[in-house]
Amino acid sequence: MNRSLILFIGASAIGLSACASAGGVDAPAAPLVYAGELRPDAGAAAQAQRGWLPGLGSLVLTELVEEALRANPSLLAAKARAEAAAARADAFGSRRWPQLDLSLGGGRTEAPTPMGASAVTEALSAGATASWEADLWGRIAAASGASALDAAASAADAQNAALSVTGQTAQAFVDLIAAQERFALAEEDLVTRQRALAITERRYEQGVLSALSLRTARSQAASARAGQASAADGLLASSRRLQLLLGRYPDGAMRAVEALPALDPIQSAGTPEALLQRPDVLAAQARLAAAGFRVEEARAALLPRLTLTARANGEGGQAADALDPEQMVRQLIAGLAAPLFQAGALRADIEADEAEQEAAAARYAETVLGAWAEVEAALSADRVLAVQEAEFANAAAEAREAQDLAEREYTRGVATIFELIDAYSRRIDAERALIGARNQRLSNRISFYIALGLEGLGATPSEEAGQ
């Protein structure tokens, strides 16, 4: 992943802005490519086809992600925004065609006559107006192209929201499992502390131990009960987070029946070029191209506009007379209008759109660099977390053996209460650290898949680029 970036960023920004600002803006800019040495990656392609959720070994998680993709409120909102943008793009596109308006009207006139009566006259009118602006300089085409690209960006935003919801749901599910394991560990800790308290109370009654040992054992049992309450609250919070993502009522009653799965090392990270198909990158690219179209539109606004208008109007006492083509008055008008003085408003619009184009180019570069950074960070973190998980597993196993030994020696009167407490604390800390390391490694693996833009249910970024 660590290739030269300068050539890519410069060529990408210049290429897109040139394509968007040049004459003939009917087509969007060409897709950007990574300017570096690329190698095909069959492993990453296969992973993209089958999805990464099954690799976590949970059918329940797959079902939960499917539910979240159907019911998550923020995702539904993103999809609605994409539909609205598509409708607006259609509306902009219709401006390139002639517009036809029809009108119908009626009137009744009553006037006195010399004989003292009233004369009533009824009249109906009908009219039709057709108008069309000749897009001499590509202004309307540029506006339509910008709107179409806005719609494409919104569609990519919706796809990115789906990707995010998939990752958040998987993360929340993993966090729920970890919270359950922490709660189970807290309950086990309470049981061991109460067992030590019972032994201490019995030996205190026998006169073997002092009040200091008894009060210390009671303090440890109270601390364990507090830790259990805290772990229970953490479990409820994790459950509610997952329920909210699923669009369910957050009562905290949701539980998982699985353990944290074991992970294999990452075998393939894909190629830098593949990350250019991430939904957020595609959205940034579309917005950059749209900004170029808007610059073109603003420049064309300085030039004259040619409009053609055709009108037909008819009147009569009856509808048939008003609509009679032979009786209608017809007009054909051609007009040429050019801006003369607007106090620099049009020039200011051009400058503003050019500045927006530069900002869009910077945001695109930032998005691409961020995508690469996310993958690189996940790769390096996986190696560190794998070592931590293995070492914490060894530490937890040794700490459990040490606790068992300390309990036996305390029961025989060989070890002190402080040695037993130290063994308990070391074992709990090691077990808690192991749960945290496994949870963190799973979280990092999920972040890695999301950073690659891989959908969990088996599709590549941007739906295999349109397949």
77: in domain: no
Residue 134 confidence (pLDDT) = 78
pLDDT at position 223: 94
* Residue ranges making up the domain that contains 252: 6-71+139-297+351-465
- Is position 43 within any domain? yes
* Whether residue 341 has pLDDT greater than 90: no
CB neighbour class for 132 (10 Å; exposed up to 12, middle 13-18, buried from 19): middle
d(CA 281, CA 160): 9
Residue 312 β-bridge partners? 128, 330
Q: Residue 287 falls within a domain, yes or no?
A: yes
Domain annotation covers residue 377: yes
Q: Is residue 384 part of a domain?
A: yes
Per-residue model confidence (pLDDT) at position 8: 41
pLDDT in tens, 78-137: 999 999 999 988 887 777 777 777 777 666 666 666 665 666 666 676 667 777 777 788
Count of domains observed in the chain: 1
Region 43-57: mean pLDDT is 62
Instruction: Tell how strand 305-316 and strand 118-134 pair up.
Output: antiparallel
Question: For the residues of 354-411, what is the DSSP string, one character each?
Answer: HHHHHHHHHHHHHHHHHHHHHHHHHHHHHHHHHHHHHHHHHHHHHHHHHHHHHHHHHH
Is 29 part of any domain? Answer: yes
Is pLDDT at 321 greater than 70 in this prediction?
A: no
- Predicted pLDDT of residue 26: 37
Closest CA to 126 of 331, 310, 321, 326: 321
Give residue 150's Cα distance to chain centre.
Answer: 16
Whether 282 is in a domain gets the answer yes
Q: Looking at residue 415, which CATH number applies to its domain?
A: 1.20.1600.10
pTM over 0.85? The answer is: no
Q: How many CA atoms lie within 13 A of 274 on its CB side?
A: 26
Domain-embedded: residue 291: yes
Which amino acid is located at 405 in the chain? Answer: L
Instruction: Give the model confidence (pLDDT) of 247-298 as tens digits.
Output: 999 999 999 887 877 788 887 766 777 788 889 999 999 999 999 998 988 8
d(CA 64, CA 48) in angstroms, rounded, equals 20
Going by pLDDT thresholds of 50, 70 and 90, the confidence category of residue 326 is low
